[in-house]
Structure formats: structure tokens, C-alpha cells
């Protein structure tokens, strides 16, 4: 499938960007880009043109990702996508187009090919009259509305007393819950760290909803937004991408989950690939994940402001299937309770005696039918299958290698971390799980009774 970009207006529109359309013979209708660039205008004066290109490129990828259903392809997953994108620094980007294609393909599980052509005019508003205040924070961190980015922000603020932090959030006009999550959490953070934090929240997507909901490319867009802010503040500064190492690696719980269908949004290989591309594009900002060696339970337990964290927990969301409430027992819950992120979250909160949330489904209750073949409990069944096999750290190392490229000098550290995460889950199930769940996971009756 081939896609081209068409800029259809000469004038900058009210949202700070020209009208941009994605066109293809394969699309039922053209796709109109939706970016509220007014939230980024004050950073525009000092940001590099290569960063502007990176943001424009990433928004195009995200919009195409949303527009093309995986169900239209032979294996119901892998898409072949060829895109021609106009950029200011098109020659520089063409010099790394293979690396870019490989990185995005690894991220989304597709086959992406990019060609970059000359862009003769700036797509974004170029207003030098709006200047960034000198008091604006000098450190930047992504802020999703989840626990990990919250903890990453809290820890940095506690470790850097007197310094400020810019939190960068993203939301989509068709997926607005993250905006609410970010707003609620930011209000609590602002009251605790008054005068030290700023929230830069940007709407990016398309005007009409797309066919695809997997949205694997969202992390690329998120990074691009963060880099736009970080580069404007400090051309050599770091961008924090806080995500616990277990979710970042996303070890496949069963053989069927290995390969391109496994989420890789903050996988170390993906982040290192993007870092190498940035270096070749002469972008000196550094991507860092302060939680990469921590399980979610360790991230929660080691948060440097426990009282604030416990106040924020009910407002944060980790669910990967939010909004799919048809089969939930508690439809007003914030999380389903049975997807991979929810299960890791619950095990983590149990480590600090904070597992008191209401979920859409309580996986520890007798009401969960783990013997059914339906999709609803497939993540829970996968966890129980993994626990039942009693993998050693060495076994986990082999699984990690099969799921994505891992630096060999980090492999043992990662496999030990996954092992500890599974111990957290075992503790939750032993303490709260019903007898059938403990039998299915290999936590036998005599262990279950203490």
C-alpha cells in the first residue's frame, strides 16, 4: 500500500499547522491530519528543523497506523506500507531511511518503507514573537497518565530539589481518556511541587476515526513530542521515558505471543534504534528510561514520595483494554483488571498493600471462568501457563532473545527482573487468588493454604 502526503493550504490554520492530507488509492477516504500545534508554538523558536521534521514524520506514521486495519491483510496483522513524506531536511532523512523503516517495523510489527522528498515550506506556524520563558523547566519527561510515568516524574522531582520538570502528554480527539488522566494527576503533582512543573499536552491524530485500534506507533509519536520540547529547552538534554522494565520488554507469556504481535512500545532495542537514528540526524538529545531495571512492584515500592503516590494511584490508569466494558462485572471501573498491564499493576500494588482498587473484573474471585476459551480471560490464562512452567532465569533469557533483539550484557539483568515480577504475581495469587487459579498456576493447594 502506497501513501503520499498532500499539503492543501497555503495559510497556517487556527491549530497552528497547514492542512495536511494522507492520500492513497487503498484508502476509502483521504486522511486529514489533526495536530494542535498551538501548544508547541512557544518551543518553535529554538527547536531544530530536524526535530520539526521528526515530529511531522511521526504524526504521519501514527495517522497511517490508525487508518489501515490489520484485518485487511493475509495474516490479519502484518501490513506492507510504503510512504512518501516531504521534509525540510529530506536528504538527511533519506540517508537513514532504511534504519527508520527497520525501527518502525520492529515497533509496529509491519513492513514500512519510507522515501523523503523536498518540503519547500514550513508546515507548522513559525512565530518568533512567542518566546519560551527563562523560568521554564530544563528537564523533560513523558507523561501518559499511567503509574510508571507518574513515578518517574515524582522520583526526578524528589532527587532534584529546586529544579523544574516539563511533563509532555499526548491525546487523540478520538481517544480522550488520557487527557483526563493526565489533567487529574497533574493537579495533584502541581499542589505538591508548586512552581516546579509544567504540563505540555498536545492533541495529535486525525479528524476522522481510523479503522485500526492497536496503535503501536503511538510511542514513536510520544517520543517525537517529547523531543520537540526537550530539544527546544536544551539541544543536548535528555528525555525521560519512564516505563518499568517488565512492560518495556513485554516477555511473551506463551509461544503464540512471540514475534511481531508482541508490544514493543518501550523495548530497549527500539529505543536504542531511535537513539542511533537521532545521532545520525545530528540530534543530540538522549533518550533515558529510569525504570528499565525495575519491576512494576519495585518501581512502586521505591517511589520517593509514597504518600503522594498513594494519593495519585486511584487517578492513574494502566489498562490496555480500557473502554471495552461489555463483559465487565463493574462497568464504572477504570481498568478491566484482566489485561497484562492491569495484572502487573495489581501485583505491584499488592507489594505496598495498596491493592484495594475496583476493577472491571476481579481475577482473584470465583466469578472468573478461566476454563473458558473466550478472549476475555486469555491474558490471565497466559500468566497462569507461564507460572505453571516454573521457568528459571536461564529459561526466561531464551524467551527474551526469541522475542526481540536484546544486548547480551543486559540479558541476565533482564531475565532476573522478569523472574522477580513473576514472584510478585505469585504472591498476589497466593494471598488473594481462589483455589482453582492457584491450581492452574501450579501454586498447589498446600501452598495456597499457607
Instruction: Give the per-residue pLDDT at 134.
Output: 87
Instruction: Please list, in sequence order, all residues whose beta carbon lies within 8 angstroms of the beta carbon of residue 112, skipping any fewer than 6 positions away.
Output: 61, 81, 82, 83, 101, 104, 105
* 273: phi then psi, degrees, rounded to nearest 5: -65, -45
Alpha-carbon dihedral sign for residues 116, 121, 125, 130: positive
* 290: phi then psi, degrees, rounded to nearest 5: -70, -10
Report the percent of the chain where pLDDT is more than 90. Answer: 74
The CA distance from 359 to 21, in Å, is 40
Instruction: Give the per-residue pLDDT at 444.
Output: 55
Least confident of 307-321, 371-385, 419-433: 371-385
The answer, yes or no, to whether residue 258 has pLDDT greater than 70, is no
- The Cβ of residue 353 has, within 10 Å, a number of other Cβ atoms equal to 8
Mean pLDDT for the stretch of residues 293-319:
98
Q: Which helix (H) or strand (E) holds 13?
A: none
Mean pLDDT for the stretch of residues 47-75:
94
Entry field: residues in the chain? 450
Alpha-carbon dihedral sign for residues 331, 332, 338, 340: positive
Least confident of 30-44, 77-91, 253-267, 384-398: 253-267
Mean pLDDT for the stretch of residues 81-105:
98
Instruction: Give the per-residue pLDDT at 152.
Output: 99
Instruction: Give the per-residue pLDDT at 9.
Output: 76
The CA distance from 167 to 198, in Å, is 6
Q: Report the phi/psi class of residue 83: left, alpha or beta, with left for phi > 0 and alpha for psi in -120 to 50.
A: beta
Mean pLDDT for the stretch of residues 160-167:
98
Report which listed range, 37-51, 121-135, 281-295, 359-373, is most confident: 281-295
Instruction: Look at residues 111, 113, 104, 107 and name the one whose alpha carbon lies nearest to residue 78.
Output: 111
**Cα maximum dimension of the chain:** 73
The CA distance from 232 to 216, in Å, is 26
* 214: phi then psi, degrees, rounded to nearest 5: -70, -35
The cell numbers describing 397, all together, are 533469557
CB 166 within 8 A of CB 237: no
Domains of the chain (ranges plus CATH)? 2-118 (no CATH), 139-288 (3.40.50.620), 318-448 (no CATH)
Mean pLDDT for the chain overall: 92
At residue 86, the 3 state secondary structure works out as strand
The CA distance from 355 to 340, in Å, is 16
The answer, yes or no, to whether residue 337 has pLDDT greater than 50, is yes
- pLDDT band at 154, cuts 50/70/90? very high
Mean pLDDT for the stretch of residues 107-121:
95
Instruction: Give the per-residue pLDDT at 265.
Output: 82
Long-range contacts of 393-396 (CB under 8 A, 24+ apart): 393/418, 393/419, 396/251
Mean pLDDT for the stretch of residues 90-116:
98
Mean pLDDT for the stretch of residues 7-18:
84
- pLDDT band at 377, cuts 50/70/90? confident
Least confident of 153-162, 245-254, 293-302, 320-329: 320-329
Instruction: Give the per-residue pLDDT at 36.
Output: 95
Q: Which helix (H) or strand (E) holds 99?
A: helix 97-108
> For the CA atoms of the chain, what is the radius of gyration?
22
Instruction: Give the per-residue pLDDT at 209.
Output: 81
**Cross-sheet strand order for the sheet of 111-118:** 111-118, 80-87, 2-7, 20-23, 31-35, 197-206, 165-171, 139-142, 238-240, 286-288
Cross-strand bridge partners of residue 204: 35
CB 17 within 8 A of CB 35: yes
The answer, yes or no, to whether residue 335 has pLDDT greater than 80, is yes
Instruction: Look at residues 319, 239, 335 and name the one whose alpha carbon lies nearest to residue 287.
Output: 239
Instruction: Give the per-residue pLDDT at 262.
Output: 54
Which residue matches cell numbers 510520544?
222
The CB-side HSE value for 335 (13 A sphere, CA atoms) comes to 28
Which residue matches cell numbers 498513594?
310
Amino acid at each position: 500500500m502506497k501513501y503520499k502526503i498532500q499539503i492543501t493550504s497555503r495559510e497556517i490554520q487556527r491549530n497552528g499547522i497547514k492542512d495536511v492530507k494522507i492520500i492513497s488509492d487503498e484508502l476509502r477516504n483521504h486522511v486529514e491530519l489533526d495536530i494542535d500545534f498551538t501548544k508547541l508554538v512557544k518551543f518553535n523558536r529554538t527547536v531544530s528543523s530536524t526535530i520539526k521534521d521528526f515530529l511531522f514524520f511521526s504524526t504521519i506514521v501514527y495517522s497511517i497506523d490508525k487508518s489501515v486495519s490489520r484485518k485487511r491483510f493475509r495474516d490479519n496483522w502484518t501490513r506492507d506500507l510504503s510512504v512518501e513524506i516531504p521534509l525540510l531536511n529530506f536528504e538527511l532523512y533519506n540517508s537513514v531511511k532504511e534504519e527508520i523503516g527497520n525501527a518502525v517495523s520492529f515497533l509496529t510489527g509491519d513492513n514500512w518503507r519510507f522515501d523523503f522528498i523536498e518540503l519547500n515550506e514550513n508546515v507548522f506556524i513559525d512565530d518568533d514573537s512567542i518566546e519560551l520563558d527563562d523560568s521554564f523547566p530544563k528537564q523533560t519527561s513523558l507523561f501518559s497518565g499511567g503509574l510508571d510515568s507518574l513515578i518517574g516524574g515524582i522520583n526526578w522531582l524528589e532527587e532534584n530539589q529546586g529544579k523544574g520538570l516539563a511533563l509532555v502528554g499526548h491525546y487523540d480527539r478520538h481517544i480522550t481518556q488520557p487527557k483526563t488522566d493526565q489533567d487529574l494527576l497533574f493537579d495533584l503533582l502541581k499542589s505538591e511541587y508548586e512552581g516546579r512543573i509544567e504540563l505540555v499536552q498536545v492533541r495529535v491524530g486525525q479528524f476522522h476515526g481510523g479503522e485500526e485500534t492497536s496503535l503501536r506507533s503511538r510511542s514513536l509519536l510520544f517520543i517525537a513530542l517529547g523531543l520537540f520540547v526537550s530539544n527546544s529547552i536544551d539541544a543536548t538534554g535528555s528525555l525521560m521515558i519512564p516505563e518499568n522494565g517488565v512492560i518495556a520488554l513485554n516477555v511473551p507469556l506463551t509461544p503464540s505471543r512471540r514475534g511481531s504481535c508482541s508490544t514493543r512500545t518501550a523495548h530497549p532495542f527500539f529505543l536504542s534504534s531511535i537513539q542511533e537514528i537521532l545521532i545520525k540526524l545530528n540530534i543530540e538529545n538522549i533518550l533515558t528510561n529510569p525504570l528499565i531495571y525495575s519491576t512494576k512492584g519495585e518501581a512502586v515500592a521505591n517511589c520517593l514520595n509514597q504518600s503522594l503516590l498513594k494519593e495519585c494511584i486511584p487517578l492513574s490508569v494502566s489498562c490496555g483494554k480500557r473502554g471495552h466494558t461489555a463483559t465487565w462485572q463493574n462497568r464504572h471501573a477504570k481498568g478491566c483488571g484482566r489485561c497484562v498491564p492491569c495484572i502487573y499493576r495489581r501485583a505491584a500494588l499488592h507489594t505496598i498493600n495498596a491493592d484495594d482498587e475496583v476493577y472491571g473484573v476481579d481475577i482473584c474471585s470465583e466469578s472468573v471462568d478461566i476454563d473458558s476459551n473466550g478472549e476475555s480471560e486469555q491474558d490471565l490464562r497466559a500468566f497462569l501457563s507461564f507460572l505453571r512452567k516454573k521457568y528459571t532465569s536461564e529459561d526466561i533469557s531464551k524467551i527474551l532473545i526469541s522475542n526481540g533483539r536484546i544486548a547480551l550484557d543486559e540479558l541476565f539483568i533482564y531475565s532476573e527482573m522478569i523472574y522477580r515480577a513473576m514472584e510478585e504475581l505469585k504472591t498476589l495469587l497466593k494471598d488473594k487468588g481462589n483455589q482453582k487459579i492457584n491450581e492452574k498456576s501450579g501454586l498447589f493447594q498446600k501452598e495456597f493454604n499457607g
